Each structure stands twice: as structure tokens, then as C-alpha cells.
Chains A and B, each alone.
Chain A
Amino acid sequence: WLLFLLLLLLSVGVSAVEVQRPRGVPLSKRQFYEEGKPFTCLDGSRTIPFDRVNDDYCDCQDGSDEPGTAACPNGSFHCTNAGFRPTFIPSSRINDGICDCCDTTDEYNSGATCQNTCRELGRKERESLQKMAEIAKEGFLLKQQLIHEANRGLEDKKAKLGDVQGSKKDLEAKVEALRTVKEAAEQPEREAKERHLKAWEESARMAEVFLELDDDADGFVSVPELLSHSELDPDADGSFTEAEAQGLLGGVDKVDTAAFESIWSNVKEKYMSESNADTPAPEETSREEINEPVSDNESDQYPDDDIPEDEDDDDEEDEDDDRDEHEYKIPPTARTEEKKDDDEGAMPPYDQETQNLIDGKNAFKTELFNFGFGICFRNLEKEISFDFGPSSEFAYLYSQCYELTTSEYIYRLCPFNRVTQKPKFGGSETNLGSWGKWAGPEDSIYSVMKYEHGTGCWQGPSRSTTVKLTCGKETVVTSTSEPSRCEYLMEFTCPAICQEPPNLEISSHEHQEL
């Protein structure tokens, strides 16, 4: 309809030729006000001489005899607003000293000095409508892409879910296999899907091992550091000597990351991860969680949250995600790929290579969990159960988070999950509501998201957030407010809400008459 308006404007610009008629009467009603002939109130209630039209006394109950004065409490005044949008104002705004019509016609006898701003407004509105139309168009294209990807993703996920559900044994075997990274990496069903993943997984594992081995974090793996890993003893005779270790390192006392690559094959088969040894028994976890009701724990959707170690690393990673998503380009495809790209693009405090390795390690861990601990199963099941819109166009928002920083707080919207608020300068996070439902009006139910049952308020309800979606090329939180205590309002733009722009060619002549 934006374009429709735009057209209307354009057409008015062309057709705004003043036609003689009583003040305040729209062109469409001109025929009822015939100069010199008795006027019949538009509700038919009575007929009065024409000179009582606009004579500043209200004769008709419906106010129709005073379209151009403030005499009738229920009257309305039509501003032509040549150059802008014609409009009706309540007749109480005629000559009240306040300029309401951009063509100044409402203040013809109040002494108010109004400027005719219609052309300027028209220009601005046309510009903004044009811009909005462009956004809508581009947004709609993006949306198509999103739908496409969502459908593909959904099929994948469904298939994956089917696989997982299909064989408990298979799953257990998989989980069992994943206890050792080596086996996990070799899981057959992963091979097909993650062929390219494997390549970096290998280097990632190498990096992980390097970092694990590099106990003093000096960027070198040294002989003493190696010695703590008795499983690497080449002859497995129970005594891992310095000479043997030196041999593994290619005859030197220590190796940097580059050199480590060349000796990787020496250690990779035998190396036993330190972290693996600390991981809780995976079978228990997976079984428990598989049986758990989906919505039991809101943090469940965050596989990361469940990682019992390296929490700091995980957090960093989350934030990286957010930052990247703010500068969002094209809707994401597969999350893993996106992440890898992002990580490469990040500016790390470490040197680039190290950072890559660290990131690789973290990403790797995420993968480990996604695939390894059954969480993915639960997530998939949950994800598939969400209403991501008629064409799953909102699916890409799932498990993403978007932040907005105000003068006091950092607001965080994680669609289909929850909304949180965290003081900018320290203090704990407050839950402003967990995903509730789509809550838009009937004709556009997907225009509003409702998050409910957040942290309770003193003497009040629990916090809740209404998220209003508008069409935009970017996916971003544009504003937050708290209109009532504990009732938050968030404005959120994303392409998924964009509607198909109407065809520009239709009807440009039809409206000419208006």
C-alpha cells in the first residue's frame, strides 16, 4: 500500500486543479453542495438554504453543513494539500491557531501564520516512500532467498532428525564413538555432509592439540610438555624419554605452530585429548536430555551453555556471533560456514594464525556438541516445531541474537528464545521474557512477537516484551523502550517480514480522478 500511496501522491500532483466548492468539501462530495440550491444534510435529516452552508452555525446533526468552519462538533474538514496527501481533519482544528493542513487552508481566519509545506512534505514523503518501496523490494528478494534456504535447511534437519530418531542404537554408537574425537571425526554419516569440514577439523584438531600440549602457552610445544603425554611414547614401553619426545618433534627441543604441522602425523594417532578426559559421561547426558521436555530449560537451546568447560571461550564466541550478525550481509546459510567465515574476518588479539587456530578449536567444540551430545537432536526437534512463518522465512532468526545498546543497557533479542537486558556498566542480566507467540493483528500475525514470563517485578507482573517487526534489508534491533513498567517494546527490522511490493504498473490511471 505504500506504493499505492506514492501513486496517489504523484497523481494528485498532476490533478490538483482547484474546483469551485464550499470550503472544506472534498471533491468527491462536491455534487452535494450545489451553489444556490437548498442543501440537504448528508444524513438526510433536514434541508437548509444554501447560504447556511459554512455560515459558522451548525444546522445538521451530522455536521455536513459546516465543512469549512468549526461550528459542528462532529464535522470534518478536507484539506486538498496540493503536492502532498489530501486529508480530513476534525473541524475543531479549523482556525484554532495551529497549522494542521500543509496547504494552510485550515487556518484562514485565526491569525496564525502558516507556511505551505505540502510540496516539501510531498517530496520528502515521495522520497521516503520510494526508499521504503526499494527496501520492500530488496527485502522481499532477500525473503525469497530466506524461504528457499529455510526450506532446504528444514528438509536437512528433518532428515537429520529422522536419522537420529531412526536408530537409537545408531545414536548411541555415534555418541560412544564421539567419546574419542578421532572416532567422532570419522562417523560415516558425517562424512558425506561435512567433507570440507573435515579438512579444517583436522587442522583444528591439530591446533587444539597444539594448544593443549603447549602448557605454558608460549607458542611452542616443547619436550617437557610432550612428556606429560605418555600415550605418545613411540615404543609404548611405559617409559617416555626425552629423546623419544625430541624425536617426535623432529629432532628439536620445541616447535612452533608451523613446525608442529610437519610433525602432526607423529602425534595425531596417539594423542589423547586432555579435555576429553574431563568430559562428563556423554551417554548419561544424552539420554537424559533426549527424554527431557523440550521447553524445560530456556538455555537448552544454547548448546554452548551446556558445555561444562571453557565457558569464557564460549561467551566470547557468542559475542562474536552477535557482532557479526549486526553487520549482517546476506542471510546466513549454514551456521557453521558462516562462523568460519566470520572468524577469519575477526581481528584477534593473537596473531592471525593463532587466532584462526583458536577459533577453529572453538568452532570445533561447538560442532562436537552439535553432533556429539544429542543436543542437536533435541534442538532439531524443537526447531522444527516452531512456527517460522508461512514459508519458514523467519527460520534464519532461530538461535541468533541481536543487540542494541542504549545509554544504560544492552538489550538482546534472541528470536524464538528470549529477550534480555543487561546494565551497560556491570550488573546482572534480566530476563525480559521468553518466546511466547506471534501476536500481531489478525491480518498480519507475524508482525509482532511476544516474549513473556520474564523476571518478575515488584508488585507487578513478570516482565514481557513486544517485538514489532518491520521490513528492512538488515536484521537489526532499531529501538527499545519500556512504555509501562516491566512491559518492553522493541522495534526490529528484518527482510522476512517484507511483503511483495505491488506491481507498479497497475492502476496509475484509475486514481487520476482523486
Chain B
Amino acid sequence: MAPLLVLGLALCLSGTWAVDKGNFKTCEQSAFCKRQRALKPGESPYRALLETMELTNTRLTLQLINDNNKVRLLLELYRLQGNITRVKINELKPLKPRYEVPDVLIREPTTEPLSVLSQDENGVVLSLGVESQRVIISARPFRLDIMEGSDVLMSLNSRGLLAFEHLRMRKDTFSYKVTSTVASTTKEEEEKVEDGMWEETFKSHTDSKPNGPSAVSLDFSLPGVEHVYGIPEHADTLRLKTTDNGDPYRLYNLDVFQYELYNPMALYGSVPVMVAHSAQRTTGIFWLNAAETWVDISSNTAGKTVFGKMLDYVQGSSETPQTDVRWISESGIIDIFIMLGPTPKDVFSQYASLTGTQSFPPLASLGYHQCRWNYNDQEDVKSVDAGFDEHDIPYDFIWLDIEHTDGKRYFTWDPHKFATPKEMLQGLMDKKRKMVAIVDPHIKVDGNYKIHNEIRSRGFYVKNKDGGDYEGWCWPGSASYPDFTRADMRAWWASMFAYDQYEGTMENLYTWNDMNEPSVFNGPEVTMHKDATHGAWEHRDIHNLYGLYVQMATAEGLIQRSGGVERPFVLTRAFFAGSQRLGAVWTGDNAAEWGHLKISIPMCLSMGLVGISFCGADIGGFFKSPSTELLVRWYQAGAYQPFYRAHAHVDTPRREPWLFGPENTALIREAVRQRYTLLPYWYQLFYRAHVTGEPVMRPLWVEYPQDLATFALEDEYLIGKTNLLVHPVVEEGARGVTAYLPGKDEVWFDVHTFQKHNGAQNLYIPVTMSSIPVFQRGGSIIPRKLRVRRSSTCMEHDPYTLYVALNLQRTADGELYIDDGHTFNYEKKEFIYRKLTFANKVLSSVNLAPDAKFTTDSWIERIIVLGASKPSKVTLKTADGQEKQLEFDFDASMSVLTVRKPGMNAGADWTMTFQ
């Protein structure tokens, strides 16, 4: 939600809408990045000391030495279950411990045996157990290659950019300005002290750096790879760009006011995971480090035109395409997980095995969310709620931003505007609707505020470099920041969500964590000072983790308040690897511009690739006021993105869906209704994402990994397996869109007209204001509930319509998942999970989870077969052996068969024969 008001005023004066880049560091302005980037590829000073190698069953250790300064590093190598190789590099004997990121891995990963295949003075060859995979450790210079057969899958330090700034005592005899010409030339010590090693100043902020330089860096080469993805959050293309001519991609959680599109600047969240893809293989690199991180990408084919590449090919002179990546972090250690695929889905499950899967959200949270900064008071909430009924638009959640509190004291309510919150919540509950109220991590420094007093007296605040409670400026004015890295602090925070602690709350109130980068209005780069401390660690070490911890503590609070029964729903702005386990993420403070609508797709696709499926952008755009056309288009696009919430800045005019004339109200109603009919499908995809870690919203290349035409597509995507292809209209005044329908042997059905299109073509689709181009793949079965009601909860017992889209082989399959929609009872096997198959003119439902138990009132009211031929009769056979003939309609012009009211329970076994 939150813009930076202070900056905003400045911006306003200068009359510009774009981000003020001057508030955020470039690599050049970030001392360690500048230092590390100054190293050029060449021979690495590191050498592997093979004589130090130790190999237990599953763990290999080996010392590395830097021949320039003789500092030794310890390399650990593990083979992890599921085709993952872990490489850790730390100082052998650091002056003091270096930070290793906790709480991100869901458990200590399971290791698998390693064995030495061969060894000589030049190196060691290890077997990775799987097929013909090997790791070759070269000694001089140190280099690590992962091979499969004769192919190199990935090389580490092949460009010699491994750098590990060891911790050192400060040599006060050196002046800061010592240059290389006066540097000591003693034989062991030739280190230069550069600017920014022991102190760094950016704008008016000085970082005291008591530990001195501590950066780590490593390069990776990816032969055969031309496409890399991931490392969100950036407002950039899905396919990552090379960074040779600009800044590296930056990962440093920041509250960026009015962010700019298509650049590598840091945003609110960071997931240091990159996915590399070629037609042959998909791999991933997970760089587990929570400090400020920069990622450089270069490619040997980047500059070449298609013609140039063709020429290379014809002349046979081409070197293999290769992408080189380099990671640089300010502190901590090198701890990397190399996920070797080979398929995209393998990479997803490999990453999920490390950091967990998407949390399984309450069904209602997949519905539509109505938010605004701010709904002013209870009366306002009531009238907006009534507006949805009056205009017959479904919604599930209404949201309250910061103004609902008593003076920005979270966990409180404004005594005048929200005097009787329970009454308000009960009013919503009576309509089976819910609310989200914001709880930010900055705590008002106010001796009359219980939360502040408790945190202070328990010593739970982050400390400044001098040991006092860290104070910064945020919404409430002077604020302190709880140290969420502490488990005891998180437990206390969670306990504050108990109904008797957080007064005025009920079970239909959920939580939103904003500003958790953390945002500090008067801090360096609008965040916390790096020399603030979290116990033994500096903020520098943990920065990118802070937001994850806030959401973790909050989600735990919502679980605990229900006695562990109810699933939580918590939205966060800041995130890190592992945040997928905790709730939903949105793309922060975007703007009401067509470009922002457009980029919401690659931004959420990028997050999905690295585990975070529950992603969405503010519908309509947060800053500024959307044109009616933009707003309608955004509602349409958002209806097909995972997290569907409209939000608006406090200074913008109202934009509830019915304020733009009956015609536009109808368009928005239709978009939202389409969302609601598909809720069963969304829900089952989230169940799948929860089980497998596969993204809900995914790029086409994930399902068509060999189709080069899909590799850079970011204006369309798939929802779930290959079942729905969405190409929303994101251009002003569009008359049509051109959608790429993949699959040489596939057919695609327009979900609105049921018209059939062949795959492997660019299809021009004329559009009107009511068009949302969506296609169902032939071969898929999608369940919908067509009785759209005022909220998802109202639709709980409603019957299903199955959309069976036949492929050229006249088969199709799909799934149906049903549970209570809101508790953890699915963990106790209380759900229905069925496989739906159409083959040999028989449609059947079989139980995928025979040991699970759940009953539903829902039944199958209709079956629509797309691409069907006309049967002479349709017979339903139920589990009790009874058979009955079903009535049906056949539309010969569109080849659509509609089976009328088969009536079986959605949880039952049945077969339906089309003769």
C-alpha cells in the first residue's frame, strides 16, 4: 500500500511520476558490488588442496587456498536427494562466525552417497549417483564442473570470479585513502584497503561496517543455455536480460516509491533462485544468502541477431551458446543448491524439497478482494459491502488499510471510525464474507501503547549500532522494529493475534503485512541501517529475510488463534525464498498505467517459477487513477491471475466496480463472475501447488519445453498443467490480440464460444471490451461451478459442471479436488481427490486418494464435451451398479455436447458411456 510520503512530496515538487533513482544505490554506489565487479574474468587465485579432501559417505570437504593472500576456505559438497548438489564455501577459520541463513530450508536436506570415481594431482571425479552424472573438481585453479555424459551442465568458477572477502582485523595504521602505489608489499599481505571497506556513506547515511569487507562472489557457466529466468522481484521481462551494459539485477528488499518498469532495480522481495532453460534441459541455482545481492548475467549469443546465429550454424563456426552468471553478496557464506532438473517440473520439485511448497490457501482467498486505502469507517464498509449486493458482483474479502487503526498503532481500531469492529465483522460474516486488516511491523514509539511497551520491556526490538532500540520514521512517526529473527519474538507476536489479545477480532478477520522490507522512511534507501543488530548478527546479514519472518510470525498467529484448525491467510509485500509457505504476495505499489498491467504477467510468472504461486498485482493500479478502459481490462486480466485484489491509493478517486456506468459495471461483473465459476479449478491447482511445488500460473515453456517460440512469451501463460491458456488484453484501444497456441498436435477451444483452433499457430483474435481471450486445451477436463453467488462460501454446496475438451485422440483428463475449504483437516485426509478421464467414449471418475474421506453435497449437474460427435445415447453407471440414460443436447455447428443433469455426487465413482 504504502508510498513514501516524504519522498513523494519531493517528487511532487519536481513534477515527475517515476521512481527517484537517486534514492537507491547502483552497483557503483554499493562498495562491495563495485569492488567485486571490478574483478574481471581470468585465472582464479584459488587452488583446491586435494590432500585436504575428506569424504564421508555423503559429505565431501576440501580446502581451497587463495594464492594471493594464503587465506584458506573450506568447501563442502553434498549430493542431495532428488538430483540436487549442494556446495558450501566458508572461511576455514573465520575470525568470527559468518551468517548462515536459518529457517528457509524446511529441513536439513536428505543427503545421498557420493563416491570418488578417480583422482589425480589435477583433480577429483565424483559420481553423483544418478545416471552418468559426475562432478569434476579441478585443483589449479579451482573449478567445479558438473557433467552428464560428455555434456557439461554447469561450471563453477570457470571464469575465476570466486571471491571470498575474509574477515579481518581493522588495520588502523592504514589510512582510508591508501592507494595501490603505497600499499604494503610484504610477501603475505598485499591487500589494499579501499574506500567503503570499513565505512560507507550513501546520501546522508553512513554505514559503520564494524566487520569490514565480507563479500562473497561466484560465477556459474551454463553451456547450451540462452534463457534464464527467476530471481524476482524485478519489474522486468520474464526472460532475464544480460547485464553487461548496465547494473546487475539487484536483490535487496526495498520500499521503492513509484517503481519503474523494465530495469534491474531491487523491489520489495527477493528470491535468489535462477532457472536456466534450454530445449534439452532445465536447471536451477539457489543461492542461499539473505544479504544484499547482485546478479550479473552475460551471454555469448546475446548480441547476435537471428541471422548471425544462423550464419554461425551454417558455417559450423559457432561456439555453443552459453550464459554466464555471477552472484555477489555482501556478507554471509556461499551456500548454493544446484538443481539439475532435467525437466522444469523436476526443478520445481527439487526447489520445493528444499524450501517447501505454496501454502494451501483458504478457498475464499482465491475469490475477489476489494481493497482501498482506506475504507473510512464502519459505515463505509457497510455501504461498499451493500454495493456489491446491489450490483450483484461477488466478493469474499474487504480490506482495511492503515487508517483503520488508532493512530497507526497496529492491533488497535480507530475508536471513532471503527468503534464496534465485531459488529462490522459479524455483519460481514452474516453474508459469508471476510475482512483483512493491516498489521505492519513498525511499532509506534508510544509509552501508552501496549504492544510497544511489551516489546520494549522484553528487549525484542532490533538494536541500533550503539545498542539502543533502533528507531526510524514510518507511518506512525517514530517507530521501532521488532526483531523477527528471534523465535521468542515471533512466538510473542503470534500470541498477539489471539482473540482476547487483538480486541475486536473474529475468525473472519485476516491479516496483511505491508512495509516489511522493512520500510524506514528516513533510513538508507528507505530501509534499515545495515549496522543495526539482531543479536549477534548485523541487519546486513539478514536483511532479505526480515519480511519472511514477519509473515511467518503473523501466519503462525492466525493458526494459533484457531487452535491450529484454520488455515491462515496473510498477504505480504516483502518476501524471500520460502515465503511461498506462508501466504500470498503482491507486486507492491504499482501504478494505473497500461505498462503496469502488462508487466503484472511476467512479474507473477517469475515468482511462480521460484515457488511463489499466490501472486497478484493491485487491480486498477495503486498510484494514479485508471481510465475506465484500463480498469476494466485489469479486472479481466486479474480474474485469471492467482491473487485477485483491487487496491487504490488514498489520493485517488473512488473506483468501486459500479462507479463507471452500467455498461462497465456489467463488464467488471462478468470478469469477476468468470473468476468465480473457475474457483474449483483454481482451488485444485493450489492443492497441486501445495503438494508438488509446481506453479499455478506458469509460462508456456514449462509445458512446451522444446518449443523455442514459447521461451520468451510473457503476454500469455497457462493456468495449471496445460489446461487453460490466457492471453489477456493489456493494450489500450486493442482491436485484437495475437495469441500463440502451442502444440503441433494440440487443439484449443475458446472457452467463451467453444470454437476450436489448431495448435502451433499464431492466432489473431478480434476483441471487444468484453473479450478475455482464454482457451482450454483439447485433452483437459476442467470443473466449474456456474452458479455464481455473492461469495465463494455461499457456493460451497453447489453442483459442478465438467468441461471436457477432447483432443485429436478424443481423450481428455483432469482432476477434481474438494475439501471443507478452510481448515487443516485435509492434512488428516479429509478431502475428495478424483481423477476424471475421457477415453474410448467413456468418461469416468476414479478415486485418486482411496484412503481419504470427505463427503460433499455437491453433485455433477452438467457435462459439456467440446469437440464431441453426436452420440445416440449417453448412459450413466454409478457405483451401486445402477444405470440410467441421460438426456443431452448436441450443437452440431460447434460440436458441443451437453449432458443434462447426470446428478451423481461429486465424490462418487461413476462412468458415463457415450454410444
| A interface residues (Cβ-Cβ under 8 A, vs B) | 55-57, 59, 70-71, 73, 90, 92-93, 96-98, 407-408, 457-461, 481-487
- The reply on B148 being an interface residue by CB < 8 A is no
Give complex CA distance A485, B649 in Å.
9
Nearest-neighbour CB distance to chain A for B180, whole angstroms, equals 50
Given the interface pairs A57-B900, A483-B376, the reply to whether A70 lies near B430 with Cβ below 8 Å is no
Of listed A55, A73, A97, A459, residue having the most chain B CB within 10 A: A459
- The reply on B786 being an interface residue by CB < 8 A is yes
Chain A contacts for B901, CB-based, 8 A: 55-57
Give complex CA distance A92, B673 in Å.
12
Of the residues B9, B376, B653, B900, contact of A481 by C-beta under 8 Å: B376
Nearest-neighbour CB distance to chain A for B676, whole angstroms, equals 10
Given the interface pairs A73-B786, A481-B376, the reply to whether A457 lies near B431 with Cβ below 8 Å is no
Nearest-neighbour CB distance to chain A for B567, whole angstroms, equals 21
Chain B contacts for A98, CB-based, 8 A: 430-432, 790, 794
User: Cβ of A71 and Cβ of B787 under 8 Å apart?
Assistant: yes
- The reply on B788 being an interface residue by CB < 8 A is yes
| B interface residues (Cβ-Cβ under 8 A, vs A) | 8-9, 12, 376, 379-380, 392, 416, 430-432, 650-654, 673, 786-790, 794-795, 798, 861-862, 900-901
Nearest-neighbour CB distance to chain B for A95, whole angstroms, equals 8
Give complex CA distance A73, B787 in Å.
6
Give complex CA distance A96, B9 in Å.
49
Nearest opposing residue in chain A for B9, CB measure: A458
Give complex CA distance A342, B841 in Å.
91
Known: A55-B901, A92-B788. 12 other contacts (CB 8 A): A57-B901, A59-B900, A70-B787, A70-B789, A71-B787, A96-B432, A98-B431, A98-B432, A458-B8, A482-B376, A483-B376, A487-B653
Give complex CA distance A98, B8 in Å.
45
User: Cβ of A483 and Cβ of B654 under 8 Å apart?
Assistant: yes
Give complex CA distance A459, B798 in Å.
47
User: Cβ of B651 and Cβ of A458 under 8 Å apart?
Assistant: yes
Of the residues B12, B432, B653, B861, contact of A458 by C-beta under 8 Å: B12
Of listed A70, A73, A96, A407, residue having the most chain B CB within 10 A: A96
User: Cβ of B789 and Cβ of A96 under 8 Å apart?
Assistant: yes
Give complex CA distance A485, B650 in Å.
6
User: Cβ of A459 and Cβ of B787 under 8 Å apart?
Assistant: no
Give complex CA distance A481, B379 in Å.
10
Give complex CA distance A33, B364 in Å.
38
Chain B contacts for A56, CB-based, 8 A: 861, 901
Give complex CA distance A485, B789 in Å.
32
Of the residues B8, B392, B794, contact of A97 by C-beta under 8 Å: B794
User: Cβ of B392 and Cβ of A90 under 8 Å apart?
Assistant: yes
User: Cβ of B788 and Cβ of A460 under 8 Å apart?
Assistant: no
Nearest-neighbour CB distance to chain A for B343, whole angstroms, equals 40
Chain A contacts for B430, CB-based, 8 A: 98
Chain A contacts for B9, CB-based, 8 A: 458
Nearest-neighbour CB distance to chain B for A127, whole angstroms, equals 22
Give complex CA distance A22, B794 in Å.
24
Of the residues B380, B790, B862, contact of A483 by C-beta under 8 Å: B380
Nearest-neighbour CB distance to chain A for B650, whole angstroms, equals 5
Of listed A57, A460, A484, A486, residue having the most chain B CB within 10 A: A484
Nearest opposing residue in chain B for A483, CB measure: B654
Nearest opposing residue in chain A for B653, CB measure: A484
Chain A contacts for B794, CB-based, 8 A: 92, 96-98
Give complex CA distance A459, B376 in Å.
20
Nearest-neighbour CB distance to chain B for A407, whole angstroms, equals 4
Nearest opposing residue in chain B for A100, CB measure: B389
Give complex CA distance A57, B862 in Å.
9
User: Cβ of B380 and Cβ of A487 under 8 Å apart?
Assistant: no
Chain A contacts for B795, CB-based, 8 A: 96
Of the residues A55, A92, A485, contact of B652 by C-beta under 8 Å: A485
Chain B contacts for A59, CB-based, 8 A: 900
5 smallest CB-CB distances across A and B, nearest first, come from A96-B794, A484-B654, A57-B901, A407-B416, A92-B789
Nearest opposing residue in chain B for A70, CB measure: B787
User: Cβ of A484 and Cβ of B652 under 8 Å apart?
Assistant: yes
Nearest-neighbour CB distance to chain B for A478, whole angstroms, equals 13
Give complex CA distance A459, B653 in Å.
11
Nearest-neighbour CB distance to chain A for B429, whole angstroms, equals 10
Nearest-neighbour CB distance to chain B for A38, whole angstroms, equals 15
Chain A contacts for B650, CB-based, 8 A: 485
Give complex CA distance A90, B12 in Å.
47
Chain B contacts for A93, CB-based, 8 A: 789-790
Nearest-neighbour CB distance to chain A for B860, whole angstroms, equals 11
Nearest-neighbour CB distance to chain A for B398, whole angstroms, equals 15
Nearest opposing residue in chain A for B650, CB measure: A485
User: Cβ of B652 and Cβ of A481 under 8 Å apart?
Assistant: no
Chain A contacts for B862, CB-based, 8 A: 57
Nearest opposing residue in chain B for A406, CB measure: B416
Nearest opposing residue in chain B for A481, CB measure: B376
Give complex CA distance A483, B656 in Å.
11
Chain A contacts for B12, CB-based, 8 A: 458-459
Nearest opposing residue in chain B for A459, CB measure: B651
Nearest-neighbour CB distance to chain B for A487, whole angstroms, equals 6
Nearest-neighbour CB distance to chain A for B303, whole angstroms, equals 42
Nearest opposing residue in chain A for B3, CB measure: A459
Nearest opposing residue in chain A for B862, CB measure: A57
Nearest-neighbour CB distance to chain A for B589, whole angstroms, equals 13
User: Cβ of A459 and Cβ of B8 under 8 Å apart?
Assistant: yes
Nearest-neighbour CB distance to chain A for B418, whole angstroms, equals 12
Given the interface pairs A98-B430, A407-B416, the reply to whether A457 lies near B790 with Cβ below 8 Å is no
Chain B contacts for A484, CB-based, 8 A: 652-654
Nearest opposing residue in chain A for B791, CB measure: A96
Give complex CA distance A461, B798 in Å.
46
Chain B contacts for A482, CB-based, 8 A: 376
Give complex CA distance A407, B654 in Å.
23
Nearest opposing residue in chain B for A92, CB measure: B789
Nearest-neighbour CB distance to chain A for B734, whole angstroms, equals 27
Nearest-neighbour CB distance to chain A for B479, whole angstroms, equals 22
Give complex CA distance A98, B428 in Å.
11
Chain A contacts for B653, CB-based, 8 A: 461, 484-485, 487
Give complex CA distance A73, B652 in Å.
34
A-B contact list, 10 entries, CB within 8 Å: A73-B673, A92-B787, A96-B794, A98-B432, A458-B9, A458-B12, A458-B651, A460-B652, A485-B653, A486-B651
Chain A contacts for B654, CB-based, 8 A: 483-484, 487
Nearest-neighbour CB distance to chain B for A107, whole angstroms, equals 12
Give complex CA distance A90, B652 in Å.
32
Of listed A93, A98, A461, residue having the most chain B CB within 10 A: A98
Nearest opposing residue in chain A for B673, CB measure: A73
Nearest-neighbour CB distance to chain A for B349, whole angstroms, equals 39
Given the interface pairs A458-B12, A484-B652, the reply to whether A73 lies near B788 with Cβ below 8 Å is yes
Nearest-neighbour CB distance to chain A for B794, whole angstroms, equals 4
Nearest-neighbour CB distance to chain A for B876, whole angstroms, equals 15
Give complex CA distance A486, B379 in Å.
18
Nearest-neighbour CB distance to chain B for A295, whole angstroms, equals 26
Nearest-neighbour CB distance to chain B for A281, whole angstroms, equals 44
Nearest-neighbour CB distance to chain A for B673, whole angstroms, equals 8
Nearest-neighbour CB distance to chain A for B319, whole angstroms, equals 53
Give complex CA distance A59, B653 in Å.
43
Nearest opposing residue in chain A for B374, CB measure: A485
Nearest-neighbour CB distance to chain B for A74, whole angstroms, equals 10
User: Cβ of A457 and Cβ of B651 under 8 Å apart?
Assistant: yes
Nearest-neighbour CB distance to chain B for A490, whole angstroms, equals 14
Nearest-neighbour CB distance to chain B for A334, whole angstroms, equals 40
User: Cβ of A70 and Cβ of B798 under 8 Å apart?
Assistant: yes
Nearest-neighbour CB distance to chain B for A429, whole angstroms, equals 21
Give complex CA distance A254, B652 in Å.
67
Chain B contacts for A458, CB-based, 8 A: 8-9, 12, 651
Chain A contacts for B431, CB-based, 8 A: 98
Chain B contacts for A485, CB-based, 8 A: 650-653
Nearest-neighbour CB distance to chain A for B612, whole angstroms, equals 31
Give complex CA distance A458, B6 in Å.
12
User: Cβ of B380 and Cβ of A481 under 8 Å apart?
Assistant: yes
Give complex CA distance A135, B529 in Å.
65
